[in-house]
């Protein structure tokens, strides 16, 4: 088995308490791109009558996958902080299905990284929700979303 | 002790798995307004070197307080779904402090409710992050953020 | 010469006063997709020393191209209203260059249409700004962004 | 008659081509706060049957008032650039009425300024639309929304 440095970085970011509590898993990662999964679990259900997982879990998934994609886009791991995050929700997640999210950090300037992400079950063409976010590259002025894992 | 119907509603919404895993607590609630707390806990730390809690926990707090404020603004509990959520992050949360969030649902139209929220420790004038969101009032077409608790 | 119904629709939307004042032109259109141009003009300059056009002109371009893409995505022309619009700005537009914007309406639900757009000079991979927006499909409750031209 | 330096600054920003084409006028300004008006004019109508002005004109008004509020919040005029802008639209503007917009720059960090704005006819409690935006304080990396007028 082989783990690339980017995969190790993504897994270290996902091993912190909040992503772990949600059950997030890294599926694949390449420079500027990340794909994660959120397995369906009873504890995530927000609506007991239907079994649909809480919107907040989708929010957290998209928030995290954006951060991972930004980190992998940088030349070297560095502190990043979410500057803003916007999520649009299209429809409920299918009951009992794994939710995937993929993010693409499409632009890095001197001080800001821009990223978009989509959550879905089968195809990004039938999205559950989509996100766009901006991250600031020095975590010191703003909210340190994450530091680079050692 | 006395619990108002709005407080009971807010607490029922906060008793689901994801808010409970974060440790969210309802502080106060009135029609169209809600205040919640996120107590500091080691499991929420996103940055071990500094002890700062993960940005994702602030995101989840703001997401949830917006939903509670919208629900209390309605004439009767009804299914609501987050249509979109935007969060701006100003600075890290102070280490070891309780984070508060207050939300105000400032406009309800026939089909959409609009809400703003702020997270802070001591005063909303020194915010950690601020949110604005739109919720759709029938949960059937979109992501059911929450149904009305029975 | 031949004008498709979608092109006629896009041109009618762009013939209203505000788009015309900016000098917006429809380049191409297909179902759910639109491409428009904003020619460089001295009146749009926001920063006399550098000649860079005002950010507000880019905002207006993206706002409009989103509306056109949504309108073409509908089965039949119908009133639409912008529910929310978010724009991220990456860099200044190049001085003296035509700015292009292309939009894709990637999801239409019963009541909401979701769209993304990018502004650039040469390639969408080197964006000036990007937008995401949600439109509501009955203009009566909210801001009537546009009605269907007769 | 007396013009304060902040009023002179706001008027200079509003004397550029795009705000002038819309007919924007500065009503009042103080440190971190600005109020502007958009007089009703036939050229701004987006929907001929109803006479409602185009959503894009409201967008431009909010975009501009945010920039003015940020500029007045700074210790000294300096280049600023819109990093992102989000607008929520609640309802159509009333036909034939002046639209007002007021903005408050509620937080300035080392590199970013955060601002909120509301558009309305009579009262901010009955909004047409609301905006939140982030501006970056050095215009060189991103879109130069405006330079400081000489």
Q: How many CB atoms lie within 10 A of CB D25?
A: 15
Residues of chain A with Cβ-Cβ distance to D109 below 8 Å are 141-142
Low-confidence ranges of chain D (pLDDT < 70): 1-2, 139-150
Q: Which of A107, A117, A125, A135 to mutate to test the interface with C (most CBs of C within 10 A)?
A: A107
pLDDT grade, residue C48 (50/70/90)?
Answer: confident
Q: In a 10 Å sphere around its CB, with 0-12 CB exposed, 13-18 middle and 19+ buried, how is residue C140 labelled?
A: exposed
What distance in Å separates the CA atoms of residue C78 and residue D4, rounded to the nearest whole number?
48
Contact check, Cβ <8 Å, B88/D134: yes
- Give the pLDDT score at C2: 62
Name which of A81, A97, A91, A95 is nearest A38 in CA terms: A97
- Give the pLDDT score at B2: 62
What distance in Å separates the CA atoms of residue B127 and residue B120, rounded to the nearest whole number?
5
The mean pLDDT value for C102-121 works out to 94
Rg (C-alpha) for chain C, rounded Å, is 15
Q: How many CB atoms lie within 10 A of CB B50?
A: 14
What distance in Å separates the CA atoms of residue B112 and residue B138, rounded to the nearest whole number?
9
Residues of chain B with Cβ-Cβ distance to D130 below 8 Å are 114, 116, 132
- Give the pLDDT score at B142: 40
Quick check: B109 contacting C, CB < 8 Å? yes
Q: Which of A82, A136, A137, A139 to mutate to test the interface with D (most CBs of D within 10 A)?
A: A136
- Which residue from D88, D107, D125 is facing B134, i.e. has the nearest CB? D88
List, for residues D95-139, the tens digit of each pLDDT value: 999 999 999 999 998 889 999 999 999 999 899 999 999 999 874
B144: which DSSP letter?
-
- Name chain B's partners: 3 or more CB pairs within 8 A: A, C, D
Quick check: A16 contacting B, CB < 8 Å? yes
Question: Which residues pair with residue C84 across a beta bridge?
Answer: C134, D88
List, for residues B54-101, the tens digit of each pLDDT value: 888 999 999 999 999 999 999 888 888 899 999 999 999 999 999 999
- Give the pLDDT score at B147: 35
Helix (H) / strand (E) containing A19:
helix A17-22
Q: How far is D109 from chain B (nearest CA, A)?
A: 8
List, for residues B117-137, the tens digit of each pLDDT value: 999 999 998 999 999 999 998
Question: What six digits make up the tokens of D114?
Answer: 């955060």
- Give the pLDDT score at A2: 62
Contact check, Cβ <8 Å, A91/C109: yes
CB-based burial, D46-55: b 16+ in 10 Å, e otherwise: bbeeeebbbb
Q: Quick check: D114 and B88 in contact, CB under 8 A?
A: yes
pLDDT grade, residue C101 (50/70/90)?
Answer: very high
Q: Scanning the structure block, which residue is given the tokens 């007028």? A: D149
What distance in Å separates the CA atoms of residue C25 and residue C33, rounded to the nearest whole number?
15
The residue count of chain B comes to: 150
Q: Quick check: C24 and C40 in contact, CB under 8 A?
A: no
Higher pLDDT among residues D69 and B16, named by residue: D69
Identify the closest residue of chain A to D132 by CA–CA distance.
A84
Q: How far is residue A7 CA from its own chain's centroid?
A: 14
B115 — phi, psi (to 5°)? -145, 150
Name which of A14, C45, B127 is nearest D17 in CA terms: C45
- Which residue from A83, A109, A141 is facing D134, i.e. has the nearest CB? A83
Q: Vertex C34, ends C30 and C35: CA angle to 5°? A: 125
Contact check, Cβ <8 Å, D86/C86: yes
- Give the pLDDT score at D86: 93
- Give the pLDDT score at C75: 86
Is the pLDDT at B34 greater than 80, yes or no?
yes
- Give the pLDDT score at C44: 86
pTM of the model: 0.83
Task: Quote the ipTM score.
Answer: 0.85
Map residue C123 onto helix, strand or coil.
coil
- Give the pLDDT score at B139: 43
Q: Quick check: A106 and A32 in contact, CB under 8 A?
A: yes
Contact check, Cβ <8 Å, A91/C114: no
Q: How far is D144 from chain A (nearest CA, A)?
A: 14
Name which of B41, B43, B49 is nearest A147 in CA terms: B49
Q: What is the mean pLDDT of chain C?
A: 87
Quick check: A108 contacting D, CB < 8 Å? no
What distance in Å separates the CA atoms of residue B99 and residue B120, rounded to the nearest whole number?
6
Quick check: C83 contacting B, CB < 8 Å? yes
Residues of chain A with Cβ-Cβ distance to B58 below 8 Å are 143
Q: Quick check: C109 and A91 in contact, CB under 8 A?
A: yes
Q: How far is C81 from chain B (nearest CA, A)?
A: 13
Quick check: B82 contacting A, CB < 8 Å? yes
Residues of chain D with Cβ-Cβ distance to B127 below 8 Å are 106-107
Measuring CA to CA, how many Å separate A8 from each of A4, A13, A40, B49, B50?
Answer: 6, 9, 24, 19, 22
- Which residue from D63, D88, D92 is facing C144, i.e. has the nearest CB? D92
Name the percent of chain C lying above pLDDT 70: 90
What distance in Å separates the CA atoms of residue D99 and residue D121, rounded to the nearest whole number?
5
Least confident interval from A101-115, B27-41, C16-30, D42-56: D42-56
Q: Scanning the structure block, which residue is given the tokens 């402090």? A: B97
- Give the pLDDT score at A110: 83
Q: Scanning the structure block, which residue is given the tokens 């299905």? A: A97
Q: Quick check: A103 and A65 in contact, CB under 8 A?
A: yes
Q: Vertex B55, ends B51 and B60: CA angle to 5°? A: 125
Residues of chain B with Cβ-Cβ distance to C136 below 8 Å are 111-112
- Which residue from D84, D86, D141 is facing A111, i.e. has the nearest CB? D141
Q: Any long-range contacts for C28-33 (C-beta under 8 Å, 24+ apart)?
A: C29/C4, C29/C68, C29/C72, C30/C6, C30/C72, C31/C6, C31/C72, C31/C73, C32/C69, C32/C72, C32/C73, C32/C104, C32/C105, C32/C106, C33/C69, C33/C72, C33/C102, C33/C103, C33/C104, C33/C105
Quick check: C144 contacting D, CB < 8 Å? yes
What distance in Å separates the CA atoms of residue C121 and residue C97, rounded to the nearest whole number?
7
pLDDT tens, per residue, chain A with 150 residues: 567 889 999 999 998 878 888 899 999 999 999 999 999 998 888 777 888 888 889 999 999 999 999 999 998 888 888 999 999 999 999 999 999 999 999 999 888 999 999 999 999 999 999 999 999 987 434 433 333 333
pLDDT grade, residue C22 (50/70/90)?
Answer: confident
Q: Which residues contact B2 (CB under 8 A, 6 or more apart)?
A: none
Is the pLDDT at C69 greater than 80, yes or no?
yes
Contact check, Cβ <8 Å, A132/C86: yes
Quick check: A134 contacting C, CB < 8 Å? yes
- Give the pLDDT score at D88: 93
Name which of C56, C43, C50 is nearest C94 in CA terms: C50
Q: How far apart are the first and last CA of chain D?
A: 22
Residues of chain C with Cβ-Cβ distance to D59 below 8 Å are 59-60, 63, 82, 85
- Name chain D's partners: 3 or more CB pairs within 8 A: A, B, C
């Amino acid at each position: 088995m082989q783990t690339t440095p980017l995969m190790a970085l993504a897994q270290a970011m996902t091993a912190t308490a909040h992503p772990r509590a949600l059950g997030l898993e890294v599926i694949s990662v390449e420079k500027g791109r990340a794909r994660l999964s959120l397995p369906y679990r009873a504890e995530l259900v927000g609506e007991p009558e239907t079994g649909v997982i809480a919107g907040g879990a989708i929010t957290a998934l998209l928030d995290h996958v954006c951060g991972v994609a930004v980190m992998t886009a940088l030349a070297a791991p560095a502190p990043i902080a979410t500057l803003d995050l916007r999520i649009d929700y299209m429809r409920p997640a299918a009951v009992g299905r794994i939710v995937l999210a993929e993010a693409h950090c499409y632009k890095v300037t001197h001080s800001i990284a821009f990223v978009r992400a989509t959550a879905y079950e089968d195809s990004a063409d039938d999205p559950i929700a989509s996100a766009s976010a901006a991250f600031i590259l020095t975590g010191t002025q703003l909210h340190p979303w994450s530091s680079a894992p050692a």
